[in-house]
Structure formats: structure tokens, C-alpha cells
Structure 1
């Protein structure tokens, strides 16, 4: 970290060696930039207890954060908005023309991110701009995130850690009430989630509330982990008291508040139905794609990709003797074929997880042929907690802590194994683990040449676009489906799925499609209405656009530089340059590759 003293000593050193004024200015600008990044990062972490824990930074001077959770109050929103304003102003005060190389890439990346966030917080006085316009739904709210956070990210090694866990359990009840109040304030402004999103939230909230303390992960987690570490104390009794006296009543209050809103909710799926909804979607699409593509343009890209991928599916299926019905109808038959379904039992789910771990080992051995830089951090595969699996997506990735003490985790939804036939699992694993999310995010976090702020930054289209592109690397470069034609259909299915997302997301939020119309489009093309996914897009406007838009950009850049560089093009170098640059907006990714190619 650069402080004022190091900046002064650096300036003195520059003068001592007699550097030119231009070079000195550039180094001074670089030093100011990195000092500003450090200040932004430190303020960000200091005000986010959950963020500090996720990053493994809740120790030492920040140890007190381990007993707290991020507040959801109007005061916190005002503080965060002021922080964004201050941060943007500080970056704009640094002369960009005096920066070069990765300094300029870092500058453009962070400024884009902070400006996008600031614009959202200034324009929309509801929800969480950049995430969801709705505080509590089947996918949003602390009732979804905090139980798993406490269980999987709050480390317990000492009595102090266990005490901090109990403090956070109390804070969870407070946070639930803060979010209940926040939702009620938004409802007064006319911001009400669709009825189906609220209905599922109520179901999940009741499941959590009605779980006895002895069976709750919130209580079981501290009992089990203090026992493992031989930490003396009746932690179960203390956690049970807090759970029954504070958490359960707070859950009941939130349930009552959501139930009171439900009669006011409509069945309209798109964000257009709320005040400023159309503007919010344009904002969400920009954040989701890190481009200025219009919803109409994205919709057409989706339709074109759906047509292209359906044509390829037709060829592959015909070669396998699958010729009856549309490709969507044939996919539906495959999805229901018992030979592709694991038993929907604990033993069957354990076998599924074991098979995925073996699959990761196979692809791990192939990585060195396509990547020079490999992640040091391991990845674990876990099932999504049963308490939240009803509204959760099919799979997602949780990054490792910065210090490597907690590995990366790929979560898969096993609420019903019939929803994840075996021919779909390889591609999902490449996407979430390696060479997808785990590889990309771990390399970024492990790259000490990036400022800390960049090590933890994320851009949806870059991250999800990479994961989708990595599915193609596994399929077409690594040959992972050479002896698995049904797995290759799974790869095409998932690519088609992401193309359909472009159509249905813009369809619901921009063209005012109904939830049922979007489900019908999914069903016609994929043989599955994807109800859970459609409802996800309803409450996360624009997020689903980043996958295919990002993949298209990665492929476009690869094709462009293969043609330009010819014999000089090296696939390992191409991948390493993109990954070590860290997550960036797509326009900045173009600059990264242009500067790389210019040096060859």
C-alpha cells in the first residue's frame, strides 16, 4: 500500500536520478493512481463486514468487523453514495494522459465501474442498483444469503470467532428488520416485485422460520465447528436462544410484511411495470453487458444465435438418429430419459458430486496445453443448501478468500436430480469450475501485479462471457466430448440456453412479454419452460445478458487476432493476457488485446 510518506520518498528518488519531466510526471500519476486505489479499497472493506470476511480480511486491525453484518439502512445508502461520489472525483483528478500500459487499463476499468454504480444510486432511490430493484424476492434478501454466509464463510478457529458468530446471528435479526423496512419504503414508491417472486419468497421464508433450532444450519453450524476445534462452551444453547428470541420473530415480521404486499403485486414480469422501470432496464442492460447495446439490438442478436445453434443441434441429433420432432422436443425427451438421471436420493446426489469431482480432475490435466497461467487455489463442489434451493439457479460459483484459507466453491442445485440430467453436467462444471469461473477469478485474485481493488473487481459480461467461452474451449479445443456425443448436445443446449436468455430478458423487460410468454419461448427451443430461470431474470434485470454478449466478444477477439497475427498467434498467450488483465468492461478488453498485439 502506498501512503503519503512513500509517495514523497518516491518523488525524491525520481528527482535524485534525474529523470525527464515527462517520465517523472507519469510515475507520479501512477503513484497517485495506486494510492487512490488503495484508499478506495480500504474504505470499501472497512465499511463492509461481510465483504471483509469473504475476502479473508476480517483479522488484525479489522478483527472487529467479524462480529458485524453490512447494514441495510437509509443512512448506509447515503454513506455509500457519498463514497462513490468521492471516489469518482478522486480518480478524475488524476490525469489519464499521463498513464500508460496497465495503469491506464486499471484507471479505465475502475472509473467505469464506480461511475456506473454512482449513476444507479443517484438515478434510482429503490432496491440495489446494479443488482435488483426489489429488496425481498425468491432470490434477493439477507434471508437468502446470510445463513450460508455464516456457515461457509465465517471461519471459527477460536472462542473469539465463535463469539463473533453469535454477534452476527443477532445482527442477522436486525438486518432482516432493516430490509423489511426498506421493502416497505420502496413499496410506498410503487416498487413492488411480481406476485410469483413474492409468493416464492414467502414459501422460503416460512421454511426457514419453521425449521426448529436443532435442525437449523444457523445453530448446527456453530455447534459442529466449535466441537471440531475443541472450543469450550455451550454454543448450541446460546445460538438457540438468539435464534428463537431474535431471528424467528424477525423472519415472522418479514413474512407478514411480504404477505401484506402480495395483494398489491401484479403478475407483470418486466421491470417496466414499476416507476422508472424502462430507464432501470437500460441501466441494467448496460451493467450486465458493459456495452451500450440497445435492448432491441440485444434481442435481435439473441434471435440470430438461437437460429444458428438450433441448426447445429439439428445436425448432431440427426447423426445420432434423433429425428422425431423439433430440436426442443428432442431435448425434452433426452431430459426425461431415465438413463441420464441420477437417483433422487442422498446416495444418488453423493454419486453425482463424486462424478463431478472426477471430471474436474480430467480437465485439470489438459489445462497446460491451452493456458500458461494456472490457478493455485483449489475448487470444491457443493450442493446449494436445501433451505434456499427452491428459488436458486442451477449452479453458481463462490470465490476463494484472498489468503487461500477458504477454497473456491462451485455450488450445484440438487433439489431434484431430474432437473440435472447427466448430459448437462459436464458443461455446467466447465462453466462454474475450470476452465470457467474458478480459473478466471482465482487467477485474478492471485495476480499480485493488479491493485487489490482490481483483484476483487467483477464485470458481468467479462466473467460470465469467459465462463461461456470456456465451455467452447472445453468442447472444441480440448475435445472433452470426443467420446461423449450426448455431452456435446449438452454443450450446444447450454449455448442455446444463453442465446434464449437474450431474447426472453429483453422480451420481458423491454417488449413487455409476460412470464408465460418467456417460458413458452424457452420451452419451444429447449424443451423446458425454465420457470426458475425466467423468474430469476424478472428480479435481476439485465444480468442474464452478459453471458452470450461476453462470449461473442471473446470469440470475436480470438478470431480477429488469429487472422492478424497468423503464425505469431499463440492460444496460451491469448488466454493468459485476457485472464491476467482481470475483469474489465468489454471495450477495455479490446484495448488489452490491441496493446498486446502491437508489442508482438
Structure 2
């Protein structure tokens, strides 16, 4: 006869089994729901479908672009609201720990897509809101030329899909122009200096449209023996695209005379609430703007003190930290000629450092990225309004490598002491390693929603955190000036918090913000001005970098204290990267 102890143990085991069965059932329901939501999203976003998918849906999507008209935005918001309601019907308590993370990530994303989407402007798939549908860093005119320039054409079908998307480009431009007029009627127009830069870039594209949109694809078609593509592309360009570009230029110019010169969104309808929401969407933490401003100032002061000592050790002891950074920027030993040959030297320096760095990565990581990465120049047509650099991961079909694109409008912005840190941020152990480890962990069976998820504080926070990891694994052991570059980069990201909240919460002017960045962070005037203009059109996004880094470092320290001698940073990095993008508040619970 079983004892009471046996009975209790059996009951306990049965309870555990029932709990696991319940979790398995809940997990399956959540996975199915999120998979359906992703399919619905891809139907609304053909550009994402073309990049993520490898089945027949990808082929069909290659002939279309996302609908950025008011009707297209309304459809996306309605979908997000429905997804949010459906997710609430899932019992989170019945899920396994891993699926609770997936649930919480989706809940945050759906909330932001709903709440931000219901307001003016736009929001991209990384949950970065922008108040102005078309600006110097956003819009079909800005995003599409680089994709068209790389268009692979080897067959008649490839050519037909390219021509279809080229024609759709005109439709998307007109949809955006409709959105510009709608937002303007509600009192939302870009500042005058943003309109000026955006119109200038649109005019540049119009004057180089053939080179930017058709010359490369038609040449590849001819090389592949696919005839008639040049004639068809020219008809679409002249008959549809050029008139649509003219209409978009006119839509922006129509509001130039009455545009404000104030930089912040505080001047827009319900601007304070819009900014608070943008700050949360970007940083994925619930920190009010005033508290965020104080965090930026405190972090900046701590880093400035560290940088002061490092500069003194290298003989730069006179003047403020910003003045000494400026002197280092103009040190002839650190500069390449402002010529095509000098630009080529910068690109080669960057590629060579990537290759050398690979051997150091095992000191901090279990899984290593592949070497399928290159460094290129940002297209000249958009570099005036483009950021200093950015990374694009390889597409699902492997048709090109990962690419670090550097803005080389002038080589003076890239003295060599800054370059290694740029490579660590955009390449390894930053975005390229981040992307590579996750993709390898994901495998072919990873749900698309996890592969597509993006949260700026995680994605950009990791890249800035990776700059510190590069220090820890010895990337600057024989390069004190490169190490100064790493600390100055962190200082710059702390300054971003100060300036972003200064513009949108403290009501600083464009000139005030630029001056603060030059005088305190040591940024060059031209690059500082471009950065400030970026913060004007992507409020809150600049804060995501340092907030993400600080949260990663805090969570790592929590895990180190909890595990004691068993803690190995390589295992922690592996866990964080394999789990994939998540809000910082979710990461703290899952990885701390």
C-alpha cells in the first residue's frame, strides 16, 4: 500500500506534469497566433516579405513596395490593434519561460504599433517613430535607390519584377505626397531647414534618376541577355517616376513659406505626449523625458572625466576635452586625403581591421560570425542627409554580403582614431556579429516573427555595448588613440541623450543643440549639424544607443552577482544574442 509520502510525491509529479502540459498547450497557441500575425504583416509589407522569405511569396513581393499612403497606414494600425487584442486572450501565466519572453516582446511591439501608429507621422519596423513622413532620412526616395542599384537581374522574370517595382515606386511617392498634405492639414509640417534639405535631395535624385534607378539594372539585364529592359525602364522613369518626384517636391515646397524654424516636436499638436511615446518606443524603458535628460548629463560627465585622463596621457593636456578632441581630429597623422584615393584608403583600413579583429573574438564569444562582410561608401546622392555610417545584414537568399556603409562626403570626418570603433559598432562584435549569431541560432525553423523583430535599444544598445567589449577583448591593446575613440564614441552617445531631450523636451533651438554638441562633445560642426537634423526627424531614437548599453551592462552585472564564479561572459553573450531582439525591460527579467 503506498505511503502518504508516496502519494504526495505522486500528486506533486502529476501536478508538474499537468503544468507542463498546460504550458505546452499555451506555447503552441502563442506560436500559432504570432505566426499568423507575421503572415498578415508580410502581406501588408512586401519589402519585408522580399527580404525575409524564400518561397513563392518572396518572388511575388519583389514586384511591389510598401504602401505609405494614409490608407496603407490605416490598414497597418487596424491590424496592430487587432493583434494586440488577440494577444491579450493568451494566458501568459500558462506559458513556458521562453514563450513568456516572446509574449512580452509581442505585447510591447503591438502596443507601440497601435499607440504610435494612431498619431501623425510614421513608424518603421524597428519601432522608430518619425513625425514627418518624408524627410532627409526617410521616404521611398531615400530608401529605394540603393535597392534598385543592387537589383540582381539574371532572368526575364527578374527583369519583369524589377520593372513592376519601379512602376510601384511612382505609386508610393504619390501616396507619401498625399500623407504630407494630410499631416500638414492637421498642423504637422517639418521645420524649414528639414524641408530645404529634403527637397535638395529629391532634386538631386531627379537629376540623377537614370544613374540611381535604372542604369545598373538595365546593364545587368543586357549582360544576362534579357532584351528590352532599358526601353521599358526608360518609359516608366519618364512617364511615371519623374512626374511623381515632381509632385512630391511640390508637396513639400508648398509648406516652405509658412514652415517653422523650431526644431522640436513640442511645437506640434500634442507634441509632449508624442515625444514621451517616441522615447518609450525607442528606448523600451518607461523613463520620462526629464529623467532621461538627467541620465544623459550624468553619463556624459563621467565619460568626460575618463576621456580627460586618457588625452592627457597622450600629450593632449591643454584646453577643454572638446578642444583637445578637435585637435586630435586635425592631427595630420590621423587624416587621409580628401580625394578618391583617400576615401579608398579609409575603406581598406576598415576592411583590414575587420579581418584582424576576427582572431580576438573568441575571448568574448562562443559563436563567431562569418566573414561575409564588406565596407562600402554611402551613395553620393544621399550622403548629405545620411548618417555617418550604417550596417545592412545579408538578405535571406544570400545574394550579397553584410555591408557597412560609411559616409565619405569628406574624409575629414573620419580620422583614423575614430575608425576602429566604427567598425566595432557596425561590424564585429557589433551589428554583424549580433546578426550572425542570431541567424545561426535561429536556423531554418525559427519563426519569422522572431527573425524580424527589432527593438532599437537592443539592436543599437548592443552595438554600443560591443564597443566596450572590443576594449575588453584587447582590440586597442597597442592603440591608445583607438581606445580614446571608443570612449569618445560613448561620450557622443551620452551627448545624444542630452541633445535629443534638449530639443524635444527642453525646447532647445537647432543652433543651441548644435553648439552644445560641438562645445561639449568635441564633434565637428558639419557632422554635429547633420546629427542634430537627424534627431529632429527621429525623436528619441538617438537615446536608444546609450540606454541600451547601460541596461545591458547593468543586466550583465546582475547575472554576474547571481552566478558568482560560475559566470562566464561568453555564455552570457551567447544567451543574449541567441534569444534575439527584445525590449530592455524584458531582457532584464530574462537575462539578469
Which residue matches 2:264? 270
Select the residue among 391, 397, 407 that pairs with 1:397. Answer: 391
Matches for 1:399-548 after TM superposition, within 5 Å: 399-446=393-440, 447-448=442-443, 450-475=446-471, 477-527=472-522, 528-529=524-525, 530-548=528-546
Deviation at 1:236, TM superposition (A): 2.2
Which residue matches 1:110? 106
Tell me the distance in 2 between the aligned counterparts of 1:202 and 1:403: 35
Tell me the distance in 2 between the aligned counterparts of 1:168 and 1:533: 32
Tell me the distance in 1 between the aligned counterparts of 2:56 and 2:488: 48
**2:182 aligned with 1:182, yes or no?**
no
SS of the residue corresponding to residue 263 of structure 1 reads: coil
Select the residue among 209, 217, 236 that pairs with 1:222. Answer: 217
Deviation at 1:142, TM superposition (A): 0.8
After superposition, give the CA deviation of every residue in 1:267-298 in whole Å (9 maximum; x if it has no partner).
11111111111111000100111000111111
Select the residue among 76, 95, 98 that pairs with 1:99. Answer: 95
Deviation at 1:248, TM superposition (A): 1.6
CA contact (8 A) 1:56 1:401 kept: no
Deviation at 1:63, TM superposition (A): 2.3
The Cα RMSD (Å) is: 1.8
TM-score (norm 2): 0.93
Deviates more, 1:243-252 or 1:458-467: 243-252
Tell me the distance in 2 between the aligned counterparts of 1:481 and 1:361: 15
Tell me the distance in 2 between the aligned counterparts of 1:278 and 1:496: 27
Tell me the distance in 2 between the aligned counterparts of 1:211 and 1:150: 13
Deviation at 1:232, TM superposition (A): 2.1
After superposition, give the CA deviation of every residue in 1:379-412 in whole Å (9 maximum; x if it has no partner).
2212111111100000111122234333222111
CA contact (8 A) 1:461 1:550 kept: yes
Deviation at 1:51, TM superposition (A): 1.0
Select the residue among 293, 308, 311 that pairs with 2:302. Answer: 308
Select the residue among 166, 190, 199 that pairs with 1:202. Answer: 199
Tell me the distance in 2 between the aligned counterparts of 1:212 and 1:546: 34
TM-score (norm 1): 0.92
Tell me the distance in 2 between the aligned counterparts of 1:390 and 1:423: 23
Which residue matches 2:11? none
Deviation at 1:453, TM superposition (A): 0.4
After superposition, give the CA deviation of every residue in 1:340-394 in whole Å (9 maximum; x if it has no partner).
2222222221221111111111111111221112234722212111111100000
Tell me the distance in 2 between the aligned counterparts of 1:193 and 1:306: 29
Deviation at 1:485, TM superposition (A): 1.3
CA distance change for structure 1 residues 19 and 479 in 2, over 3 Å: closer, same or farther?
A: closer
Matches for 1:230-269 after TM superposition, within 5 Å: 230-269=224-263
Tell me the distance in 2 between the aligned counterparts of 1:212 and 1:436: 34
Tell me the distance in 2 between the aligned counterparts of 1:257 and 1:82: 27
CA contact (8 A) 1:377 1:404 kept: no
Which residue matches 2:3? none
Tell me the distance in 1 between the aligned counterparts of 2:551 and 2:100: 21
**2:295 aligned with 1:324, yes or no?**
no
SS of the residue corresponding to residue 72 of structure 1 reads: coil
Tell me the distance in 2 between the aligned counterparts of 1:289 and 1:568: 31
CA distance change for structure 1 residues 198 and 577 in 2, over 3 Å: closer, same or farther?
A: same
CA contact (8 A) 2:393 2:401 kept: yes
Tell me the distance in 2 between the aligned counterparts of 1:421 and 1:77: 42
Tell me the distance in 1 between the aligned counterparts of 2:188 and 2:314: 50
Deviation at 1:56, TM superposition (A): 4.5
Deviates more, 1:528-537 or 1:242-251: 242-251
Deviation at 1:77, TM superposition (A): 1.7
Tell me the distance in 2 between the aligned counterparts of 1:195 and 1:60: 45
Which residue matches 2:348? 354
Deviates more, 1:259-268 or 1:373-382: 373-382
Which residue matches 2:382? 388
Which residue matches 1:55? 52
Deviation at 1:237, TM superposition (A): 2.6
Deviation at 1:533, TM superposition (A): 0.3
Which residue matches 2:166? 169
CA distance change for structure 1 residues 165 and 313 in 2, over 3 Å: closer, same or farther?
A: same
Tell me the distance in 2 between the aligned counterparts of 1:369 and 1:489: 21
**2:41 aligned with 1:44, yes or no?**
yes
After superposition, give the CA deviation of every residue in 1:513-545 in whole Å (9 maximum; x if it has no partner).
111111111111222340000100010000011
Deviation at 1:450, TM superposition (A): 4.3
**2:290 aligned with 1:293, yes or no?**
no
Tell me the distance in 1 between the aligned counterparts of 2:324 and 2:15: 73
Deviation at 1:509, TM superposition (A): 0.2
Which residue matches 1:6? none
After superposition, give the CA deviation of every residue in 1:176-220 in whole Å (9 maximum; x if it has no partner).
11111110110111001111111001111111111263xx12111
Tell me the distance in 2 between the aligned counterparts of 1:551 and 1:22: 37
SS of the residue corresponding to residue 411 of structure 1 reads: strand
Tell me the distance in 1 between the aligned counterparts of 2:17 and 2:555: 37
Matches for 1:121-160 after TM superposition, within 5 Å: 121-122=117-118, 124-128=119-123, 130-152=128-150, 154-160=151-157
CA contact (8 A) 2:206 2:245 kept: yes
Which residue matches 2:575? 577
CA contact (8 A) 1:343 1:349 kept: yes
Which ranges in structure 2 are unaligned for 5 or more consecutive residues? 1-13
Which residue matches 1:564? 562
Which residue matches 2:8? none
SS of the residue corresponding to residue 257 of structure 2 reads: helix
